[in-house]
Structure 1
Amino acid sequence: MSSQDVDLAILGSGSGAFAAAIRATTLGKTVLMVERGTVGGTCVNTGCVPSKALLAAAEARHTAADADRFPGISATTGPVDMPELIEGKQTLVEGMRTEKYLDLMTDYGWQLRQGQASFTGSQQDPALQITTDDGAVETVHSSHYLVATGSTPTIPEIEGLDGVDYLTSATAMELDEVPASMLVVGGGYVGLEQAQLFARLGTQVTMLVRSRLASTEEPEAHEVLAEVFAHEGIEVVPRALITKVTTDSSNDEVMVTATVDGDEQTFTAQQLLVATGRHAVTGGLNLDTVGVATGVRGEVLIDETLATSNHRIWAAGDVTGHPQFVYAASAHGGLAAENMFTNTKRSLDYTTLPRVTFTSPNLAAVGMTDAQAQAAGYRCQCRVLPLEYVPRAMVNRDIRGFIKIVADADNDRILGITAVAKEAADLAATGVYIIQAAMTLDQVANLWSPYLTMAEGIKIAAQSFTTDVSKLSCCAA
């Protein structure tokens, strides 16, 4: 057993962990990072990078199949070579992991331990006990600690679920063949993306959704996405409460029993994908030993500076239960290192945190929804602009979607923007700047905006509060 002292010991190696390590080393601090799995965390290994790579591939196939929406254009698609698709995805993941994670550790010069870590000692004198993959045991004393262990898929308690070979968002992206059929449980961003991904690869997909699609966003998003999914052959079953899961012994298909609007129904498919959210990974860390408080879902409780109930231990990213976006985790990590070593006591403002679901068309939002604004006490005014009034959508031959603006009726300040549209993710970025600057409807309505861009749609949506946009010339808005 050995012991050593460092300035910062980090549990985890995802985006929050790396942001903290980079900031700490630039401040001249020594850093030790402990990872029990694959370096890089969820985003690069099983989340953002692989899922969006496969979504892009599926969209390329769908674009070819849907080419006849343009007069005079036709294309055909063949069967998917799933092993080659997955191999290509994995090559991309490994390249990014090497370049953006492993190589950076060498560049910045911090240490890495591969193995299991847990807290030991006391609240007054916390330490880490690390059992490395080669069996060595090491005790590390650090001036500060950062818990950045991320999150993992939440598996609901459903009768019989533990007896079937179900998929999660991670394992679904390792399949070596395209399933003939799939049941997707959950209507959040993971369920939405995975359902469309497999449908576009050739799977017959049915979604079982407890309430509606994207239930935390504007209700118009559900309406449009449900219509888009129906057009692509995806069956969406809202208000489905799953009661039992079994395996049909005659064909090895999964059978799901659910109550739908009071009636019991049975659904069968070759594969079952569970996409019912994620929860913090804190098991085995012995947080209570060093006085770190956790919440009802196991998340590490932090104050606005990202400090835990132990003043030497901080937390960042998904493990805190805060918004589960890689850019939020990264911001957490850098801020935590800044606060622990410079005592600046800075905090993050989530008011303009953008939210994107990479369906096609995208669902993207920033700021408050209509319901959230009203709950916050605002007297709201809203407009929903159908994409048929956005010239970019018209030339794309794809007017499925909308742009919605929520504004304060007392001063016309824009409080929220939601869009379902091609490239709506970029609209969310534009919305960040608009809401951060506290811009009004009149200001946005009179901004310069390049013609035939989707961003022009935000300007037209702002104009719709005072103008009949159906009477506007397409080139003279």
Structure 2
Amino acid sequence: MKHFDAIIIGSGQAGVPLAKKLALAGKKTAIIEKKHIGGTCINVGCTPTKAMVASARAVYQAKRANELGIEIHDIKVNLKKIKSRKDGIVESFRSSAQKGLESTKGLKIIFGEARFSAPKELTVLASDGIEEKLTADWIFIDTGAKTTIPDLDGLLEVDYLTSTTILDLEEIPKHLVVVGGNYIGLEFGQMFRRFGSKVTILEKSKRIMGREDEDISNEISEIFKGEEIDILTETQIVRIIKKQKNQLILDVKAGNQNKKIECSHILIATGRTPQTEKLGLEIAGIKTDKKGNVLVNEKLETNVKGVFALGDVKGGPAFTHIAYNDYTIVYRNLIENTNYTISDRPVPYCMFTDPQLGRIGLSENEAKEKGLNYKVAKIPMSQVARGIETNETLGMMKAIVDADTKKILGASILASEGGEIMSVLEMAMEGGITYDRIRYCVFAHPTYSESLNNLFMKIED
């Protein structure tokens, strides 16, 4: 039986840097990966999808070029070439991450599947078929999450798509039905509409983007409708029928009406499930919630001392940057004897539709639920100079501020480069800069951030 100071299960955006840093700190370290180094983000998440989003935006910009006085004819979408470019970027990122691990002294990479056989013991079935037992003082679970497959009548009889398998398409779907009207579904829906697919989005709730404020949700809906994307809310799938290859019929109930939707492809985007079912957590006595998320305290430690969970597998905000921050917290606490927790960290995120939705802090709904004394600042992008000049006038900026302290509580930026504008406000929030100071701050002209002057002028003191 081999003993390590630390073992990381999974090579995502928390696992890779943590393994390297622990090894460099003198700890005998192993990282176990069942398939590809890099986790969801590099292989089937952020990196490939944003590469393809860039291609979809190029199509959209080419079709709108006439509005800027540029005439472009015969626009063709080559999905095989788009996929090839995406695959090349993924391979570059993945190989770079793997080389970084391989070149780290004191770090062993093991390709295989791990399961707990005791609280601090793992049984690993390596990719070469050899099984071995490993023990460690510290074990870090970084196994991520996968697409949640809903229980729909007829779904298992058809070749449905997930956010992973849709990335391998080489032909543009004739009619893509997206099940789920949140971040993943909306990004793929807009992407394939721009590639040339007819797209229908089905959402069981009253509106898409149910976690966002209603005005933001409505604005996104209008933008999508402007691109001829059909959105059906309060809609449930009753049955899926396969007629022949690339011909499906969906019986749905939309509100009080029964409808039939014919389509060629169906994408399931109804959420993510933690990958914990094969870990043998019950053998180690590691507690999970009803969904299978590993339960952790504010320092990311499970109920078993010395066993930690990082990234999507623990539930909570499922973002790459949160997983990376998880790594920095546990590393500094264990090696540098700091006392960091996850309790008060900011949770920014960006949905890469076009325009982007950048979010930080409290929404208006959340401020209202907390009973805070708040004010709202809003400005449409059609009033932003930079947006008008670049022909990017869709969307809006919205900020929530504390009426008493004048501190910024949160922001929703639905705009071209919305994530970058949001990050400016996040820095202000981190630094305690109040909205009245931003109102008169000198920004370079003409930039998107300069419009924060006008945004906060909407608030009457």
TM-score bracket for this pair, using the shorter chain length: over 0.9
Q: How far does residue 276 in structure 1 lie from its aligned partner after superposition?
A: 0.7
Q: How far does residue 350 in structure 1 lie from its aligned partner after superposition?
A: 5.1
Q: How far does residue 439 in structure 1 lie from its aligned partner after superposition?
A: 2.6
Identity %: 28
Does the CA contact (< 8 Å) of 1:150 and 1:319 recur in 2? yes
Does the CA contact (< 8 Å) of 1:210 and 1:239 recur in 2? yes
Q: How far does residue 410 in structure 1 lie from its aligned partner after superposition?
A: 2.4
Distance 1:350 1:208, change over 3 A: farther
The one of 175, 199, 213 aligned to 2:193: 199
What is the TM-score when the length of structure 2 is the normalising length? Answer: 0.96
- 1:179 matched to 2:181? The reply is no
Q: Distance in 1 between matches of 2:344 and 2:248?
A: 41
The one of 214, 236, 241 aligned to 2:236: 241
Q: How far does residue 351 in structure 1 lie from its aligned partner after superposition?
A: 5.0
Does the CA contact (< 8 Å) of 1:144 and 1:340 recur in 2? no
Distance 1:25 1:334, change over 3 A: farther
List per-residue Cα deviations over 1:152-204 (Å, max 9, x = no partner).
01111111111111000110010011111100011111001000110111111
What is the TM-score when the length of structure 1 is the normalising length? Answer: 0.93
Q: How far does residue 65 in structure 1 lie from its aligned partner after superposition?
A: 0.8
**Aligned position for 1:63:** 61
What is the identity, as a one-letter code, of the residue corresponding to 2:351? Answer: T
Q: Distance in 1 between matches of 2:158 and 2:344?
A: 39
Query: RMSD of the TM alignment (CA)?
Result: 1.5
Does the CA contact (< 8 Å) of 1:418 and 1:428 recur in 2? yes
SS in 1 for 2:92: helix
The one of 196, 210, 230 aligned to 1:215: 210
Q: Distance in 2 between matches of 1:7 and 1:190?
A: 38
Does the CA contact (< 8 Å) of 1:388 and 1:394 recur in 2? yes
Q: Distance in 2 between matches of 1:75 and 1:59?
A: 15
Does the CA contact (< 8 Å) of 1:169 and 1:273 recur in 2? yes
SS in 2 for 1:29: coil
Q: Distance in 1 between matches of 2:391 and 2:101?
A: 47
Moved more, 9-18 or 429-438: 429-438
Q: Distance in 1 between matches of 2:247 and 2:362?
A: 42
What is the identity, as a one-letter code, of the residue corresponding to 2:15? Answer: A
**Aligned position for 1:399:** 393
- 1:106 matched to 2:123? The reply is no
Q: Distance in 2 between matches of 1:410 and 1:313?
A: 43
The one of 69, 73, 80 aligned to 1:76: 73
**Aligned position for 2:318:** 324
The one of 178, 184, 196 aligned to 1:190: 184
* Unaligned ranges ≥5, structure 1: 468-477
What is the identity, as a one-letter code, of the residue corresponding to 1:286? Answer: G
Q: How far does residue 341 in structure 1 lie from its aligned partner after superposition?
A: 4.1
Distance 1:288 1:419, change over 3 A: same
Distance 1:5 1:351, change over 3 A: closer
- 1:301 matched to 2:295? The reply is yes
What is the identity, as a one-letter code, of the residue corresponding to 1:244? Answer: R
- 1:371 matched to 2:365? The reply is yes
List per-residue Cα deviations over 1:70-111 (Å, max 9, x = no partner).
1x2221343322222211211111011111x11111232311
SS in 2 for 1:66: helix
SS in 1 for 2:419: helix
Q: Distance in 2 between matches of 1:350 and 1:259?
A: 42
SS in 1 for 2:300: coil
Does the CA contact (< 8 Å) of 1:403 and 1:457 recur in 2? no
- 1:95 matched to 2:92? The reply is yes
Mapping 1:380-419, distance limit 5 Å: 380-419=374-413
SS in 2 for 1:169: coil
SS in 1 for 2:164: helix
List per-residue Cα deviations over 1:122-156 (Å, max 9, x = no partner).
x4xx2011111111111111111000000001111
What is the identity, as a one-letter code, of the residue corresponding to 1:73? Answer: I
**Aligned position for 2:348:** 354
- 1:127 matched to 2:121? The reply is yes
SS in 1 for 2:14: helix
Count of aligned pairs between the two proteins: 459
Distance 1:252 1:44, change over 3 A: closer
- 1:29 matched to 2:27? The reply is yes
What is the identity, as a one-letter code, of the residue corresponding to 1:395? Answer: E
